[in-house]
Structure 1
Amino acid sequence: MKKKTLGLVHTSATLVPIFQELCKKHIPSVDTFNIADDSLIKDVIAKGELTPATARRVVEHVGSAAAAGADYILVTCSSIGKAVEAAAELTGVPVLRVDQPMADQAVAAGTRIGVIATLPTTLGPTADLVVRRAAIAGKKIELVESLCEGAFEALMSGDAATHDQKVADALKSLAKEVDVILLAQASMARVVDTLSPEDRRTPIFASPPIAMEYLSQILRS
């Protein structure tokens, strides 16, 4: 039997080793390859939205992954989610946006759902996805959005400590209001490990491990 192949499309090369480790853990028998183009997320941030031109390039990258032999494609950036969904309609193999399994798990886990991000261009698409997945599941939810002002800028300037503190403070505050919290950006996951057990009593979901657990079930079948 031919080994299955997963193609991963990233908007940052820094995500490649993170997902390679997750692939080794969850789908060790599946071949993988990576396509990384950080100009996509840079364009989204610069323009404050996903433009049609950038969305078209996302679709092209997904098409390239299919042409390269992928049996399944995972796109690992939440900010370009709508383009990923468009690509899925045009591609002959299944295409998954990284935050969909996380959104489905959150909808199943609670009614008041918090979404936290350091960029509005990521917060909006993830919040929109949760609302749409809840509608598909037939569940009424309340969404609470939290934007960590200044955290992303601090990280980009090399001040990781300020970024982490701002995210930690926002997580502690949001945890008091909701049943479950979604991290719209995987880069915030490391902050969760620094929280006290009391501050982590509200479940906090990050998309990469949840997406890989989902894919392990799909690709083993």
Structure 2
Amino acid sequence: MKLALLHTSPVHVPVFDALRDADHPGLVLRHDVREELLERARADGPRSVADDVRTLLEAAAADGADAVLCTCSSIGAVAQEQAAAAGLPVLRVDRPMAARAVAEGPRVVVVATLRSTLGPTAALVEEEAGRAGRAVDLRTVLVEDAWELFLAGEHARYLGRVAESLDAVTEDEADVIVLAQASLADAAARTRTTVPVLSSPRLGLAAAAAECARGKSA
């Protein structure tokens, strides 16, 4: 089974390799890192990268991928919309997390360090709530100035800033916290909040591995 991963940061490559080794040792991963896609999506909107994303997905299909997992929440919806044109399944890394969040309870807090991610992730949670026939009370939190730390390679300080924001969320106001970006996943281990915190990498990779297996058995 071969899974292509579309990233907008190289930091995700070892994260998903480690998850593959731990959970899906038979899965072959092909990583494609395109940092410029996020830069353009932030500047001009996610639709501005649609043609380039489709070209990358078509290349993944030509390379023999059974599915593609887009690990960038800012362009995940655009990538998924190109699945039919590319001719292979395209999954958003954050969709399984959004579905799990809706099951946890109606009060969902979405935390991000990029404003361009808040809207798509909030919309995805609402979409999954609609699919499940559940009401959702959604609140978003932008961790100001943290992204500059990420870009500077100061990942410990970056995660620390996120964890501080998570610490401020209490059980009186939330049933679950959603980490809107894959880069935030390790902040869950640093927070003192008692509210469940969900991140996307492990859940998203599991869903993609299952999709690859379905394709092989079809």
Q: TM-score, normalised by structure 2?
A: 0.89
Query: Residues 112-151 of structure 1 correspond to what in structure 2 (within 5 A)?
Result: 112-151=107-146
Q: TM-score, normalised by structure 1?
A: 0.88
The answer to whether the 8 Å contact 2:2/2:212 transfers is no
Task: State the distance in 2 between where 1:154 and 1:9 align.
Answer: 23
Counterpart in the other structure of 1:181: 177
Q: Does 1:211 align with 2:209?
A: no
- CA-to-aligned-CA distance 1:19-66 (integer Å, 9 cap, x gap): 11112222211222121111101212334x21x331221121111111
C-alpha displacement of 1:190: 2.0
Query: Residues 1-221 of structure 1 correspond to what in structure 2 (within 5 A)?
Result: 4-47=1-44, 49-50=45-46, 52-157=47-152, 159-160=154-155, 162-176=157-171, 177-196=173-192, 199=193, 201-221=194-214
Task: State the distance in 1 between where 2:170 and 2:17 align.
Answer: 31
Task: State the distance in 2 between where 1:62 and 1:126 align.
Answer: 22
C-alpha displacement of 1:8: 1.1
The answer to whether the 8 Å contact 1:56/1:83 transfers is no
C-alpha displacement of 1:219: 3.8
Give the SS at the match of 1:174.
Answer: coil
Task: State the distance in 1 between where 2:155 and 2:34 align.
Answer: 23
The answer to whether the 8 Å contact 2:3/2:208 transfers is no
C-alpha displacement of 1:181: 0.6
Task: State the distance in 2 between where 1:166 and 1:17 align.
Answer: 22
| Structure 1 segments of 4+ aligned residues over 6 angstroms from their partners | none
Give the SS at the match of 2:190.
Answer: coil
Q: 1:81 to 1:28 in 2, by over 3 A?
A: same
Root-mean-square deviation (CA, aligned residues, Å) is: 1.9
C-alpha displacement of 1:163: 3.2
Amino acid at match of 1:171: L
Q: 1:190 to 1:202 in 2, by over 3 A?
A: same
- Unpaired runs of at least 5, structure 2: none
Q: 1:17 to 1:160 in 2, by over 3 A?
A: closer
C-alpha displacement of 1:161: 5.5
- Unpaired runs of at least 5, structure 1: none
C-alpha displacement of 1:217: 3.8
Q: 1:121 to 1:28 in 2, by over 3 A?
A: same
Task: State the distance in 2 between where 1:161 and 1:216 align.
Answer: 30
The answer to whether the 8 Å contact 2:3/2:68 transfers is yes
C-alpha displacement of 1:142: 0.8
The answer to whether the 8 Å contact 1:181/1:203 transfers is yes
C-alpha displacement of 1:157: 4.1
C-alpha displacement of 1:135: 0.9
Matched length: 213
Give the SS at the match of 2:111.
Answer: strand
